[in-house]
């Protein structure tokens, strides 16, 4: 059986940010520890310049990826 893709939600720049908030709560770039902040900035730049994404989308995806990596490495986000 084949599913139907909702292309509007796939290409909506707010979907990634909303998903991050729903999964991880209020996480901001400012709350990231220094080393993870650097990692986030690098990922966002790569997604924007090499990946051709708009800055907001690149930052939202990079933040989601950073939080996933932090959880996988057992590092906590600063309060």
Reported as a single tens digit per residue, the pLDDT across 24-65 is 566 788 888 889 999 999 999 999 999 999 999 999 999 989
Domain count, the chain: 1
- For tokens 């650097």, the residue is 38
Q: Where in the sequence is the domain holding 49, given as residue range(s)?
A: 7-72
Asked, for residue 79, whether it belongs to a domain, the answer is no
Q: Model-level pTM?
A: 0.64
- What residues have CB less than 8 Å from 62, skipping those under 6 apart? 40, 41, 43, 44, 47
Asked if residue 1 belongs to a domain, the reply is: no
With respect to residue 31, please indicate whether it lies within any of the assigned structural domains.
Answer: yes
């Amino acid at each position: 059986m084949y599913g139907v893709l909702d292309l509007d939600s796939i290409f909506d720049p707010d979907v990634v940010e909303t998903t991050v908030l729903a999964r991880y709560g209020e996480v901001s770039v400012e709350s990231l520890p220094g080393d993870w902040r650097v990692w986030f900035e690098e990922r966002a730049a790569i997604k924007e310049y090499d990946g051709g994404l708009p800055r907001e989308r690149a930052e939202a995806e990079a933040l989601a990826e950073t939080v996933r990596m932090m959880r996988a490495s057992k590092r906590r986000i600063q309060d």
